[in-house]
Amino acid sequence: MKKYNVAVLGATGAVGREMIKVLEERKFPINELRLLASEKSVGEKIQFCNDIIVVQEAKENSFENIDIVLGAVGNSLSKKFLPWAVEAGAVVIDNSSAYRLNDDVPLVVPEINKEDVKKHKGIIANPNCSTIIALVAINELNKYSKIKRMIVSTYQAVSGAGSKGISELNNQVEDIINDKEVITSAFPYQIAYNLIPQIGDFDEIGYSQEEMKLQNEGRKILHNNNLKVNCTCVRVPVYRSHSESITIETENEITPEKARELLKSASGVKLIDDPQNKQYPMPLYTADQDLIFVGRIRKDISCDNSLSLWCSGDQIRKGAATNAVQIAEVLISDNN
């Protein structure tokens, strides 16, 4: 089997570390693993398989002899570093939103549109975590009857804001218990024992950046420019795994029974749908694994040809790191 030189850009962040973990778990065929991060992380040691790898500073020449780059940095750093990586001959799988809507950059969820990987011109984009979770959950339903419209509410864990989100929730809970002043930094308001109905800045009509991603990215991934999505994104005091309430309107009716039949064998999905026995998806179940749990499937009683469901998934793994590694697996599949 051919082996590849792989670089992880942003290796010491939450998603970067998860990418390293997933590469090892899935036995990706690696010749050299190069870990790149900012100057402050230089010299940090990270274990990969039986090796200890020292983190290097990301620079313009860091991508020489690299075949695949997994990007786990923000938009500005992606725009800075990724052109250098492509120029050096690497294919980049980017987790930021910097290139997702570019016409010449495939936006890929392997369970849905892996064929788009071959259209790349050096960069392949990883979708937003909430987009991945929602689309994996509804993909088989969409194939059975095309989805015209989605109404979605997301309940997003604090780890979606990185390690600072987790620390803030921890610190605030402790401060409240000890009757101390609650300090906010990662979020605009106290997140402990609270919900915040804002993720990202609002546009001129009142939708946040996060809320528009599902429509814009969903249209591209599903190859459906007419898809309509109304989304509300909420930050919740949960450590890990996002949950979503989804209502879909389809061209033809999908009964709850048919939906269960389709989802029972859907790629990337685990059906947990026995509400009478209190069995349904919860973030507590879905952390640190890669399946999207789907349940609470029922007819939408307010509209014809409409169905409601509830899903949960680990946004750091399938919503980011694992999806990127799966894209890399598709990328090399013709060579192994």
Using CB atoms within 10 Å of the CB of residue 216, give its burial: 0 to 12 exposed, 13 to 18 middle, 19+ buried: middle
Residue 315 · residue 160 · CB < 8 Å: yes
pLDDT surpasses 70 at 22? yes
pLDDT at 4: 98
pLDDT surpasses 70 at 58? yes
Helix/strand/coil (H/E/C) assignment for every residue in 140-195: HHHHHCCEEEEEEEEEECHHHHCHHHHHHHHHHHHHHHCCCCCCCCCCCCCCCCCC
Q: Residue 304: left (phi > 0), alpha (psi -120 to 50), or beta? A: beta
pLDDT surpasses 80 at 334? no
Strands (E), the chain: 4-9, 30-37, 45-48, 51-54, 56-57, 68-71, 91-94, 123-125, 147-156, 228-235, 242-250, 269-271, 292-299, 306-313
What is the layout of strands, in order, in the sheet containing 292-299? Answer: 228-235, 147-156, 242-250, 306-313, 292-299, 269-271
pLDDT at 336: 65
Phi (first) and psi of residue 330, to 5 degrees:
-65, -45
Choosing from 120, 129, 233, 311, which is the catalytic residue?
Answer: 129
Q: 291-296, long-range: CB within 8 Å, 24+ apart, which pairs?
A: 291/318, 292/133, 292/136, 292/137, 292/268, 292/318, 293/269, 294/137, 294/263, 294/269, 294/270, 295/271
* Predicted structure pTM score: 0.96
pLDDT at 162: 86
Secondary structure (3-state) at 213: helix
Residue with tokens 């082996």: 3
Choosing from 120, 233, 242, 311, which is the catalytic residue?
Answer: 242
Residue 107 · residue 323 · CB < 8 Å: no
Q: Strand 30-37 vs strand 45-48: parallel, antiparallel, or unpaired? A: unpaired
Tens digit of each residue's pLDDT (9 = 90 or more) over 75-120: 999 999 999 999 999 999 999 999 999 999 999 999 999 999 999 9
Tens digit of each residue's pLDDT (9 = 90 or more) over 280-306: 999 999 999 999 999 999 999 999 999
**Averaged pLDDT for residues 13-39:** 97
Residue 82 · residue 21 · CB < 8 Å: no
242 as an active site residue: the answer is yes
Q: Strand 269-271 vs strand 292-299: parallel, antiparallel, or unpaired? A: parallel
**CA–CA dist 217, 214 (Å, integer):** 5
120 as an active site residue: the answer is no
- The pLDDT mean for the chain works out to 97
Which run of H or E residues covers position 25? Answer: helix 14-25
DSSP 318: I
Tens digit of each residue's pLDDT (9 = 90 or more) over 173-222: 999 999 999 999 999 999 999 999 999 999 999 999 999 999 999 999 99
Tell which residue, 315, 311, 277, has the closest CA to residue 294.
Answer: 311
Q: In one letter, which amino acid is 166?
A: I
Phi (first) and psi of residue 98, to 5 degrees:
-60, -35
**CA–CA dist 70, 78 (Å, integer):** 11
pLDDT at 163: 85
Tell which residue, 56, 34, 32, 52, has the closest CA to residue 43.
Answer: 56
